[in-house]
């Protein structure tokens, strides 16, 4: 039996702040207490530090194929970078290819991840081809712990599903207890605007943000909510960026529907000003939904306080500037969509605490506890309590750092947050009781991370 004791820190969960010691045995938290004479093989002194649950990032795309290339982080590099940033669980998106089965897609993602991850991992499934046989397969996948399915109202010809397919998938979701996740942008209309912009000779990265209009996120969000209501299904809108889309979610929630949404750090800290950077620099900020004007940020922070936004995930989907983002020189529509961030989420949200946008407990709620509950991993993940996995971060709230591609661990040649000053820093990270980050070094190995079979959404029962 191995025992680890974390002493002297302030334990912060979604519900409590407590000056208590934490006792870990064989990878599991066994007790929290004050003034106990516990002994342990390893004692970690957390005096003056926060002791928080490891982050749960419910939206990543390691090695994702997109626009003729692949996201630059593998499961090995991406999960190691996550650990450096205090995240100890990711939920990545396995992809069904058009004409292929869910099983083939899921098997392919298992093959990419198995034996390579630094932290624990689970999968959602992208439904790219809704038909009788894939709908039938949903049932089996739910039984295997893949309990959420993403549909796309965007990207016609790639991941896109029309309203009929969406309705049928939502009905199956309602029947099986699965959660429907939605990329809510009207991709059919966007493609018309893209074509017209290119015909006018407008090719810069900035135009990506202009054609993917706020109205088309709002319309799709509204439509997704109504389709979910018709199906009697719960809905989780991913990477919400626009204040008017948030208003649609808020209205549905006020009416009592199970409509949930996440936003991402890029929408809280970056804006169309970044997309409009001179030269081709704006390509570094091309993602979908796109960055919005800066004045949306205050509304998103407010949504996080009011719980109209329940979760912050990264949508980590990194493409190098050199050779990948550059595929779109002369045509913004060929820039692969996605931003790096799996390593930065816990720090950026702590900066939100320092800046007065959210409380410490809300930080843990949106980054750890709620994503774990939303995707059926709680209380094993997302909290520090007897019986929980000892996924624990010792966080120094007073340390300062400057985010930079020179020092980050993601396999991408730029940082979207280059030069940003952060108050707060991850000091030590435990994954199921094992110290994986400490003293400025990584101590784990590929394959330490285990696959997690998830329960269904814990807000629905
Ligand atoms: O731009 C983005 N978000 N890329 C990743 C794919 C997606 O739609 O989530
Ligand atoms: Zn998406
Ligand atoms: Zn502010
Ligand atoms: Zn995504």
**407-433 residue pLDDT tens:** 999 999 999 999 999 999 999 999 999
Q: Which residue from 65, 238, 317 has its CB within 8 A of the most atoms of ligand 1, so it is best to mutate?
A: 317
Rg (CA), the chain: 21
* Residue 183 beta carbon below 6 angstroms from any ligand 1 atom: yes
* Residue 380 beta carbon below 6 angstroms from any ligand 1 atom: no
CB atoms within 10 A of CB 226: 14
How many Cα atoms within 13 Å fall on the side-chain side of residue 164? 2
**3-state class (DSSP) for residue 43:** strand
- H or E element in which residue 126 lies: strand 120-126
Ramachandran area for residue 130 (φ above 0: left; ψ -120 to 50: alpha; else beta):
beta
Distance between CA atoms of residues 401 and 354, nearest Å:
14
Q: What is the largest CA-CA distance in the chain?
A: 74
* Residue 317 beta carbon below 6 angstroms from any ligand 1 atom: yes
Q: Whose CA is nearest to atom 5 of ligand 1?
A: 338
Is the confidence at residue 1, as pLDDT, over 90? Answer: no
- H or E element in which residue 84 lies: helix 75-84
Is the confidence at residue 357, as pLDDT, over 90? Answer: yes
> What pLDDT, on a 0 to 100 scale, did the predictor assign at position 461?
81
Query: pLDDT digits over 109-147, tens only?
Result: 999 999 999 999 999 999 999 999 999 999 999 999 999
> Distance between alpha carbon 160 and the CA centroid of its chain, in Å?
21
Q: Which residue from 266, 287, 291 has its CB within 8 A of the most atoms of ligand 1, so it is best to mutate?
A: 287
Q: What percent of the chain has pLDDT over 70?
A: 100
* Residue 61 beta carbon below 6 angstroms from any ligand 1 atom: yes
**Residue 359 Cα to ligand 3 middle (Å):** 13
Q: Which atom of ligand 1 is nearest to the CA of 61?
A: 5
Distance between CA atoms of residues 75 and 92, nearest Å:
9
Q: Whose CA is nearest to atom 9 of ligand 1?
A: 315
Do 273 and 294 contact (CB within 8 A), yes or no? yes
Q: Starting at the edge strand that comes first in sequence, how are the strands of the sheet with 17-18 ordered? A: 17-18, 10-12, 50-53, 392-402, 421-431, 434-438, 441-442
Residue of 454, 381, 461 whose CA lies nearest to 149? 454
Distance between CA atoms of residues 345 and 368, nearest Å:
11
DSSP 407: T
- H or E element in which residue 60 lies: strand 55-60
User: Averaged over 302-318, what is the pLDDT?
Assistant: 98
User: Averaged over 335-347, what is the pLDDT?
Assistant: 98
Q: Where are the domains of the chain?
A: 54-374
Q: Which residue from 239, 283, 318, 412 has its CB within 8 A of the most atoms of ligand 1, so it is best to mutate?
A: 239
**What confidence tier does 67 reach under pLDDT thresholds 50, 70, 90?**
very high
The residues, ordered by sequence, that sit 6+ positions from 428 with a Cβ below 8 Å of its Cβ are 44, 393, 394, 435, 437, 438
Q: Whose CA is nearest to atom 4 of ligand 1?
A: 338
Ion ligand 2: residues, CB < 5 A: 183
Q: Which atom of ligand 1 is nearest to the CA of 238?
A: 9
Question: What is the fold, at CATH topology level, of the domain defined by 54-374?
Answer: TIM Barrel (3.20.20)
> What pLDDT, on a 0 to 100 scale, did the predictor assign at position 274?
98
**Residue 344 Cα to ligand 3 middle (Å):** 18
> What pLDDT, on a 0 to 100 scale, did the predictor assign at position 64?
97
Q: Which residue from 73, 152, 292, 315 has its CB within 8 A of the most atoms of ligand 1, so it is best to mutate?
A: 315
Distance between CA atoms of residues 381 and 453, nearest Å:
12
Is the confidence at residue 277, as pLDDT, over 90? Answer: yes
Do 223 and 230 contact (CB within 8 A), yes or no? no
DSSP 288: S
User: Averaged over 365-376, what is the pLDDT?
Assistant: 99
Distance between CA atoms of residues 374 and 256, nearest Å:
17
**Residue 59 Cα to ligand 3 middle (Å):** 24
Q: Starting at the edge strand that comes first in sequence, how are the strands of the sheet with 311-312 ordered? A: 55-60, 87-95, 120-126, 148-152, 179-183, 235-237, 259-263, 311-312
pTM over 0.90: yes
* Residue 315 beta carbon below 6 angstroms from any ligand 1 atom: yes
**Residue 95 Cα to ligand 1 middle (Å):** 13
């Amino acid at each position: 039996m191995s025992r680890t004791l974390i002493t002297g820190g302030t334990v912060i969960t979604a519900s409590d702040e407590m000056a208590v010691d934490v006792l870990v045995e064989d990878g599991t938290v066994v007790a929290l207490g004050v003034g106990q004479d516990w002994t342990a093989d390893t004692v970690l002194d957390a005096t003056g530090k926060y002791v928080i649950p490891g982050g749960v990032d419910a939206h990543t795309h390691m090695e994702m194929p997109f626009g003729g290339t692949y996201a630059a982080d593998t499961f090995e590099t991406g999960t190691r970078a996550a650990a450096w940033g205090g995240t100890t669980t990711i939920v990545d998106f396995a992809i069904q290819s058009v004409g292929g089965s869910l099983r083939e897609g899921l098997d392919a993602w298992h093959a990419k991840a198995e034996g390579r991850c630094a932290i624990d991992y689970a999968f959602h499934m992208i439904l790219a081809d809704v038909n009788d046989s894939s709908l039938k397969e949903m049932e089996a996948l739910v039984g295997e712990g893949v309990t959420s399915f993403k549909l796309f109202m965007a990207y016609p010809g790639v991941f896109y599903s029309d309203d009929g397919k969406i309705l049928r998938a939502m009905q199956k979701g309602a029947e099986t207890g699965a959660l429907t996740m939605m990329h809510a942008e009207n991709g059919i209309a966007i493609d018309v605007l893209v074509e017209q912009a290119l015909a006018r000779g407008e090719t810069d990265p900035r135009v990506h943000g202009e054609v993917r209009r706020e109205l088309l996120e709002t319309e799709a969000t509204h439509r997704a909510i109504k389709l979910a209501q018709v199906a009697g299904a719960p809905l989780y809108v991913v990477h919400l960026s626009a204040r008017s889309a948030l208003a649609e979610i808020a209205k549905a929630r006020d009416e009592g529907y199970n409509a949930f949404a996440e936003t991402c750090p890029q929408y809280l800290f970056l804006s169309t000003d970044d997309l409009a950077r001179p030269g081709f620099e704006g390509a570094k900020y091309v993602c979908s939904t796109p960055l919005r004007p800066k004045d949306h940020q205050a509304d998103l922070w407010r949504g996080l306080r009011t719980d109209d936004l329940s979760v912050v995930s990264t949508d980590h989907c990194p493409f190098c500037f050199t050779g990948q983002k550059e595929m779109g020189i002369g045509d913004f529509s060929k820039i692969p969509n996605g931003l790096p961030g799996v390593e930065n989420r816990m720090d950026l949200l702590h900066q939100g605490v320092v800046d007065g946008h959210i409380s410490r407990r809300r930080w843990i709620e949106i980054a750890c506890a709620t994503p774990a509950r939303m995707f059926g991993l709680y209380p094993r993940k997302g909290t520090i309590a007897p019986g929980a996995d000892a996924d624990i971060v010792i966080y120094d709230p007073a340390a300062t750092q400057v985010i930079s591609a020179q020092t980050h661990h993601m396999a991408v040649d730029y940082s979207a947050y280059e030069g940003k000053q952060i108050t707060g820093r991850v000091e030590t990270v435990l994954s199921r009781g094992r110290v994986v980050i400490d003293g400025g070094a990584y101590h784990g190995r590929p394959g330490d991370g285990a696959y997690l079979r998830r329960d269904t959404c814990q807000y629905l029962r």
